[in-house]
Chains A and B, each alone.
Chain A
């Protein structure tokens, strides 16, 4: 049982490049989400999914796309990277949507856009 896994751990992109951050969970969780963490700020929700085939925007969705074709995987796509997207990205999952369900976080991906 690996929990929530994220790849890669580190990534450097040039402005305008695209890439996909991978997130997978093996706990059969319905709810998955992506956050970014910037210095001096808390985690901010980018996109979330309440189940396969269903996604929705969070607080800071611009510049990011997501899809949820399976229960296990929730990739985050950067379409055209910008320096403002330099951040640490965390994926999380919980059994179901709802604040009483504990969220499990992955170890994070540190992204630098030059």
Chain B
């Protein structure tokens, strides 16, 4: 049973519009969340993170929102650019010491020019 779910395998958005990628989790002990971006034939790269003491974290065009009661987080990209086209992974951890993250299956974002 997947503890971290990304129910949309793919998403297409027009350039300049907002992209919203969603992630749900089942383990209430998760207290740290990250988003990674992955291009084909490359390893994932870190995008943005949020700890459970916050409900929002912003970095330039990227904002992550956390709703602990709903066990839901979302990544907003505004404005979307063609270079944002990639697979986005949500990851969660309940391990304050290690890096033992549980990853979701990913959402493929296509930003259309």
Contacts and interface: CB of A to CB of B under 8 A. Distances in A.
A44 to B, nearest CB: 7
Interface stretch (A62-70, A73-81, A96-104): A96-104
Interface in A29-56: 31, 33, 35, 40-45, 48, 50
Contacts of B2: 42
B83 interface: no
B55 interface: no
A105 B100 contact: no
Contact of A43 (B46, B51, B103): B103
Size class of the contact patch on chain B = 20 to 34
A107 interface: yes
B97 A97 contact: yes
B35 interface: no
A48 B91 CA distance: 17
Given A40-B105, A99-B95, A107-B41, A45 B100 contact: yes
Given A42-B4, A42-B89, A105 B43 contact: yes
Nearest to A41: B105
B47 to A, nearest CB: 10
A43 B43 CA distance: 11
28 contacts: A4-B43, A31-B98, A31-B99, A33-B99, A35-B103, A42-B89, A42-B105, A42-B106, A43-B89, A43-B103, A48-B98, A48-B100, A97-B97, A98-B96, A98-B99, A99-B49, A99-B51, A99-B96, A99-B101, A100-B51, A101-B99, A102-B46, A103-B46, A104-B43, A105-B43, A107-B41, A107-B43, A108-B43
Interface of A: 4, 31, 33, 35, 40-45, 48, 50, 58-59, 90, 92, 94, 97-108
Listed from nearest, the 7 A-B pairs whose CB atoms lie closest are A42-B103, A105-B43, A99-B32, A43-B103, A99-B93, A102-B46, A105-B44
Given A99-B95, A105-B43, 11 more contacts: A42-B103, A45-B100, A59-B100, A92-B99, A94-B99, A98-B97, A99-B32, A99-B49, A104-B46, A105-B44, A107-B42
